Amino acid sequence: MIYLDHAATTPVDPRVAAAMRAVLEDPLAFANPSSMHAAGRAAAARIETARAQVAALVGAPPDDLIFTSGATESDNLAILGVARGRADFGRHIVTARTEHKAVLDACKRLVKEGYVVTFLEPAVDGRIDPMNLRAALRPDTQLVSIMHANNETGVVQDVAALAAVCRAHEVFLHVDAAQSAGKIPLDVCAAGLDLVSLSAHKMYGPKGIGALYVAPRVRPWLVPLAFGGGQERGLRPGTLATHQIVGFGAAAAIAACELDQDADRVRTLVQRFRAALGSLADLRWNDHPTARLPGVVSLSIADVEGESLLAALPELAVSSGAACDASRGEPSYVLRAAGVPAELAQSTLRIAFGRGNTPADAERAAELITAAVARLRACYARRMTTGDWHSGAAGSQRSGTHVICQLRADHAGRVAQVHFAAYGCPAVMAALDLLEQRWPGLPLGGDGALPAALGTPVEWAQAVAAPVEKLGRFLVVEDAMRLATLSAVDAARGT
């Protein structure tokens, strides 16, 4: 398998693993870093070294860095901690519709507590206009949260310009930099940022460890989410995981040294990948032409369904930029907010190259995607245009399932042949294959009703092990079959 999902997580760099292993195997490094004995002080010293390494990566003083379990916790601590700590100054928060769920859900929590949240719309290129941010600020605005680089599209925001607007209005700015830190330059002090969330596993470090940069002017107003122990200046209590923090520090130190080299390599891979896809028609590139992460590509492909496309690419570890909610089949809120039509947002791939990838990987990925798209489009485009064929269509690309049922009846009023042309998820496609085998030889039915021997949509879903939340997609299949049956019955009656 070719791993191209580095925006989701990165493999632990062998040098990072070695640094962590050294801690785990050290007979004294297991000590609690809060302890005052020599072993505890030795563990604490390792943590402070790592703190300095992470801080150096983003241009922050080490004392302003708080270790957390990851960027999600950092986002929550920044947003909830500041909002609650400064509630007397105002209860208005500003963020963007394209933020990570860790930010959006934290803001939704504040709405339940009586806060008002304004959600900014990005421009067509995915960026937030500083003038629009300025227009959204109110006298009671106390916090703005805008991510540095989007986790789906890789679009990079001009956080320094946004910070200048916030400073001019005495509003704090929180930036989720989980995707950007270690991949593009970031100096939190030079940019004037107040709170910055970081994550180790996005930069070849271990999972379960992150950090929050807290500017000195913010510190008095930030209240913790948890209590007990007083670690991390009382903002994040709990015994510190020395080996994970050391791994984070090692990953940050490596990223700082190799940032330009890494960026140039993956940028070249993206160029090769895009060039190799040049023959594939009806593509939409969702990343910014210049302000983007060097290794991330987001592309939407017309006339293919996202889940089926992923299933057709077993050799590639990629993700759907659609970020669909399986229970509702809704397309990515990030892409929809950026103006991508729903039917295209349903069929999006996010390709994220990393340190381990090669030019051959980029070209092979483009080759596999081109072939998979051709197969899926051929299935959807299949039409029976000769003979006494009768059709029925239901659903739409916009809804995620579009089925065209085509059948031919014999002189005895039985189904002779059945074909489906479909745009749908793998479960729907598997059910259609089953029905194409099961339906021939069964009677049409006088009123267009489907024969009992075919089973029901619930039974079709069970036969292909589809989750219950996808039942609606099988009802679309049934609708198309009923319409094709009615057409055949009407033709037989001469109506």
pLDDT tens digits, 371-416: 999 999 988 877 665 668 999 999 998 888 999 999 999 888 899 9
Q: Report whether pLDDT(473) > 70.
A: yes
- For the chain, the average pLDDT equals 92
pLDDT of residue 175: 98
Among the ranges given (64-73, 291-300, 328-337, 423-432), the one the predictor scored with the smallest mean pLDDT: 328-337
**pLDDT, tens digit, for every residue of 43-59?**
999 999 999 999 999 99
Q: Mean per-residue pLDDT for 274-300?
A: 91
User: Of 107, 324, 405, 425, which one is the catalytic site residue?
Assistant: 324
pLDDT of residue 449: 83
Q: Report whether pLDDT(430) > 50.
A: yes
**pLDDT, tens digit, for every residue of 7-55?**
999 999 999 999 999 999 998 888 999 999 999 999 999 999 999 999 9
pLDDT of residue 394: 96
Q: Mean per-residue pLDDT for 426-453?
A: 90
Range 6-9 contact pairs with CB under 8 angstroms and sequence separation of 24 or more: 6/295, 6/352, 6/353, 6/354, 7/151, 7/152, 7/154, 7/179, 7/202, 7/293, 7/296, 7/319, 7/350, 7/352, 8/319, 8/352, 9/201, 9/202, 9/207
Confidence of residue 325 (pLDDT cuts 50, 70, 90): very low
pLDDT of residue 234: 87
Q: Identify whether the C-beta of residue 361 lies closer than 8 Å to the C-beta of residue 341.
A: no
pLDDT of residue 182: 97
Q: Report whether pLDDT(444) > 90.
A: no
Report which of 136, 268, 262 is spatially closest to residue 202, judged by C-alpha positions. 262
pTM for this entry? 0.90
Q: Which domains does the chain have, with CATH numbers?
A: 11-256 (3.40.640.10), 259-379 (3.90.1150.10), 382-493 (3.90.1010.10)
Q: Report whether pLDDT(326) > 70.
A: no
Instruction: Report which of residues 385 and 363 the model is more confident about.
Output: 363
pLDDT of residue 413: 87
Q: Identify whether the C-beta of residue 275 lies closer than 8 Å to the C-beta of residue 365.
A: no
Q: Report whether pLDDT(434) > 60.
A: yes
pLDDT of residue 324: 36
Q: Mean per-residue pLDDT for 107-124?
A: 95
Report which of 214, 234, 221 is spatially closest to residue 58, judged by C-alpha positions. 214
pLDDT of residue 328: 47
CA dihedral 189, 195, 196, 199 (to 10 degrees): 140
pLDDT of residue 338: 74
Q: Is 324 a catalytic residue?
A: yes
pLDDT of residue 323: 40
Report which of 175, 128, 134 is spatially closest to residue 155, judged by C-alpha positions. 128
Q: Mean per-residue pLDDT for 455-473?
A: 93
Among the ranges given (115-124, 153-162, 258-267, 333-342), the one the predictor scored with the smallest mean pLDDT: 333-342
